[in-house]
């Protein structure tokens, strides 16, 4: 062989060996840390008053950029020298505060959304339609004197003697929440076994986000006591084609002889699937999901999501990914989130982000999120520090 050929072969061999070593080193080296899918910017105070118990918020961003946060407010019974404050109260009203600077500052005195004629209201759930109309779903509790409590229908649910469930209703605002019309009482779910104090089957109800589909149809996953004893609820899907005035039952979202499904949020994916995120009982607090691929007519069997969550809410991001937020009522108490893909199929593997872990007790959570500008999102929820005043707070996050 020509000596020049030998030197050429050696040079090529060295280069090939170096290239091979480089590939091996690249493969063996630790991968560069991926950019987190969520970055916390900071926490904000939305509403706090030691004379009131504020809880269960929802939020929308108006077309002009104004933020509207609705929540349930009742007197602090502890401030009135009573032993404790509970989630049901005869003076529990739906109220709202506003921000015109992206959530930095908020109106001090809330505006009244609705005061129930027959009792206290719970959990105002806002939905802003494409035409700007606001819907707010809620439900109520009636309070009765001892002599009446014993005479109420046996089919009525009393959370404690003299405090009876009234079922759900909705109110509507055509002017950005300045005035409200209603109430609108939805029909009872066909399977409902419970009645109101007058013996009428309970109007449909639930805590959670409604969704306006791309065809303009509104979807609402409601709870229903389909067995009277023991008390257990399943979830059913209602739909409205006239902006929430009338409702039609489409079918069963999730039902199980051992698991209770209650507070639920609806989300429509870009492909058109109707996905319902469900809070449960008797399932070790595991969050669940049910999916429909035919517009809510039928649902696939419900799935456990593999993590704990107390109620959940889903928000479409700018790139069609989904921010899923939920309360966490196990130590350390707080608020958590996951960023899912557009069709919400990766819930089992999507990383969990801790937004707050400084809660004082389990009495917190119920987060609800809204896009601000660009990649920023505001997550609102109710909170307490060291078991103190229940108040409305928020966390601003960036999701690149």
d(CA 378, CA 360): 22
Q: What is the mean pLDDT of residues 4-33?
A: 38
Q: What is the mean pLDDT of residues 259-275?
A: 98
> Taking Cα atoms as reference points, which of 341, 325, 333, 393 lies closest to residue 42?
393
**Reported pTM:** 0.91
CA dist list (Å): 43 to 47, 242, 355, 356: 13, 38, 9, 9
Q: Is the pLDDT confidence value at 46 over 80?
A: yes
Reported confidence tier of residue 182, pLDDT bands at 50, 70, 90 = very high
pLDDT number for residue 228: 67
Torsion of the alpha carbons at 282, 308, 236 and 225, rounded to the nearest 10: 30
d(CA 367, CA 386): 19
Q: Is the pLDDT confidence value at 371 over 90?
A: yes
User: What's the pLDDT tens digit per position in 323-356?
Assistant: 999 999 999 999 999 999 999 999 999 999 999 9
18 versus 81: which is more confidently predicted?
A: 81
Q: Is the pLDDT confidence value at 10 over 60?
A: no
The percent of residues above 70 in pLDDT, for the chain, comes to: 90
Distant-in-sequence contacts of 144-152, Cβ < 8 A, 24+ apart: 144/197, 152/197
Q: Is the pLDDT confidence value at 31 over 90?
A: no
Q: Is the pLDDT confidence value at 19 over 80?
A: no
Q: What is the mean pLDDT of residues 104-116?
A: 97
Cβ pair 218, 175 in contact under 8 A: no
Q: Is the pLDDT confidence value at 296 over 60?
A: yes
Q: Is the pLDDT confidence value at 208 over 60?
A: yes
pLDDT number for residue 146: 87
pLDDT number for residue 153: 87
pLDDT number for residue 3: 42
Q: Is the pLDDT confidence value at 72 over 90?
A: yes
The percent of residues above 90 in pLDDT, for the chain, comes to: 83
Cβ pair 69, 97 in contact under 8 A: yes
Q: Is the pLDDT confidence value at 6 over 50?
A: no
Average pLDDT, the chain: 91
Rg (C-alpha) for the chain, rounded Å, is: 25
Q: What is the mean pLDDT of residues 211-224?
A: 97
Edge-to-edge strand ranges of the sheet holding 334-340: 310-316, 322-328, 334-340, 352-356
Q: What is the mean pLDDT of residues 88-101?
A: 97
Reported confidence tier of residue 160, pLDDT bands at 50, 70, 90 = confident
14 versus 33: which is more confidently predicted?
A: 33
pLDDT number for residue 229: 64
User: What's the pLDDT tens digit per position in 284-295?
Assistant: 999 999 999 999
């Amino acid at each position: 062989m020509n000596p020049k050929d030998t030197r050429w072969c050696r040079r090529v061999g060295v280069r090939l060996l170096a290239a091979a070593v480089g590939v091996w080193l690249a493969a063996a080296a630790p991968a560069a840390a991926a950019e987190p899918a969520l970055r916390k910017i900071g926490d904000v105070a939305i509403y706090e008053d030691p004379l009131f118990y504020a809880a269960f918020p929802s939020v929308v961003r108006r077309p002009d950029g104004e933020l509207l946060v609705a929540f349930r407010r009742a007197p602090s019974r502890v401030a009135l020298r009573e032993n404790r404050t509970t989630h049901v109260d005869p003076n529990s009203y739906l109220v709202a505060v506003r921000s015109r600077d992206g959530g930095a500052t908020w109106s001090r005195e809330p505006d009244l959304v609705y005061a129930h004629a027959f009792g206290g209201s719970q959990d105002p759930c806002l939905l802003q339609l494409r035409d700007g109309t606001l819907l707010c779903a809620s439900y109520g509790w009636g309070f009765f004197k001892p002599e009446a409590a014993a005479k109420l229908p046996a089919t009525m649910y009393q959370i404690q003697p003299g405090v009876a469930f009234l079922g759900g209703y909705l109110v509507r605002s055509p002017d950005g929440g300045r005035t409200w019309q209603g109430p609108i009482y939805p029909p009872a779910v066909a399977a409902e076994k419970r009645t109101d104090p007058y013996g009428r089957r309970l109007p449909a109800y639930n805590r959670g986000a409604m969704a306006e589909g791309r065809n303009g149809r509104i979807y609402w996953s409601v709870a229903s006591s389909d067995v009277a004893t023991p008390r257990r609820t399943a979830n059913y899907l209602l739909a409205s084609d006239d902006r929430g005035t009338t409702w039609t039952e489409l079918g069963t979202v999730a039902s199980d002889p051992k698991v209770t499904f209650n507070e639920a949020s609806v989300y429509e994916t870009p492909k058109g699937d109707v996905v319902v995120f469900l809070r449960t009982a008797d399932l070790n607090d595991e969050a669940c999901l049910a999916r429909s691929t035919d517009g809510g007519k039928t649902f696939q069997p419900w799935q456990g999501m593999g993590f704990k969550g107390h109620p959940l809410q889903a928000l479409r991001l700018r790139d069609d990914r989904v921010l899923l937020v939920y309360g966490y009522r196990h130590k350390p108490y707080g608020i958590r989130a996951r960023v899912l893909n557009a069709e919400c199929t990766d819930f089992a593997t999507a990383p969990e982000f801790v937004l707050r872990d400084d809660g004082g007790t389990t009495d917190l959570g119920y987060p609800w999120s809204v896009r601000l500008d660009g990649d920023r999102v505001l997550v609102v929820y109710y909170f307490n520090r060291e078991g103190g005043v229940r108040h409305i707070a928020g966390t601003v996050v960036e999701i690149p």
